[in-house]
A and B are shown apart, each in its own frame.
Chain A
Amino acid sequence: MSDPAQLARDRAEIKDLMGRYLFAMDWHDTEAYAACFTEDGVLDYAMATLTGREEIRLGAEKFRDAVGDLFKREDGSPALLRHVLDHIVIRVEGDEAWTTAFWWELTDGGPGRTPEIQSFGTYEDQLARVNGQWLFRRRKIYNEFIPGRETPSANPVRHYDDAAARAAGERN
């Protein structure tokens, strides 16, 4: 049985990391974005699967350059894109953690420059605590609007609970 105070602390720190990740992405702070991952971290998303901070940083630069073409306002100028993170399930086993979270995104590209919801999906993460800091070891981004990248049909929390249970079992 894990210590509830420790779980609260881990959860607080992981939520902070997930917030920092989104601000880094939406403000195209590619260095801060890559720093959310472990040195050998993996980012698995629609555009590619990237390994290591440098590849992830370069991927974030590509994303920055692509996003202006993907989302436009009515007048053709690049839209502002904001990712939003709401319910987050976090399971911690020692210095490893697993999360499943719901994300959605909106732009200012709606009629008359109003907010417009673009897509939604889930994050499926593995995290590791390195020198006292939680970092993403692997982040997989599912998007229900990209064929082939949809969240699998089974409840994603079940999937990650199984992974955490296996990790706990291997340790004992």
Chain B
Amino acid sequence: MSAAVMQAGYAEDRAAIEDLMARYLFAMDWGDYDAYLDMFTEDGELEFARGTARGRQAISESVRAFKQAIGQFYKDADGNPAILRHIISQTVIRIEGDRAFTVAFWWEMANDGPGGKPKAGTFGTYEDELVKQDGRWLFSKRRILNEFLEGRSTGEVNPVRLLDERAKKARA
């Protein structure tokens, strides 16, 4: 396995997808649900610790419940809901026509350390499938894995290997 030879337009598609992934994190951390839902296809799927939500309505309910729960979980030194920030770093993006497959490393920190300092919370990976609709890349499936939650870890196999296999199937 090695990096595939990329199709023409890879840079433009990659730039658009990186932008989408950044928008996603801002929407999540600032609780902007309209922006958040707008990043999924109508029948998009979000799979995370709370289960799998299909379609924008179900995703909306699931994400609102998650934000409420997380506010109870992360508290600052004064007991107020902590300011939580998700961060995305290395991202592998494979594009096959109007479909894309990504694996990315994420981690999170909040202002819940001693004396209100930043403290790392957890880390994991995103495994995504995207489609280009009317010139816009959207998530058709986002899978959020977290190495700190029982049954939600990324697993033993290099996720990029699995991504390349999915992309190969899409090409066939």
Chain A residues with CB under 8 Å of chain B are: 5, 8-9, 11-13, 15-20, 22-24, 27-29, 31-32, 35-36, 80, 82, 84-86, 106, 108, 110, 113-117, 131-135
Contact = CB atoms under 8 A, between A and B. Distances in A.
A161 to B, nearest CB: 22
Interface string B1-15: 111111000111011
Contacts of B121: 114-115
Main secondary structure of the interface of A (DSSP, over half): mixed
B120 A20 contact: no
A57 to B, nearest CB: 12
A23 B103 contact: yes
Interface of B: 1-6, 10-12, 14-15, 89-93, 103-105, 107, 119-123, 147-148, 154, 156-161
B90 to A, nearest CB: 4
B122 to A, nearest CB: 7
10 contacts: A8-B15, A13-B3, A16-B93, A20-B2, A23-B158, A32-B158, A36-B2, A133-B4, A134-B3, A135-B2
Contacts of B90: 18-19, 22-23, 84-85
Contacts of A18: 90
A127 to B, nearest CB: 11
B2 A16 contact: no
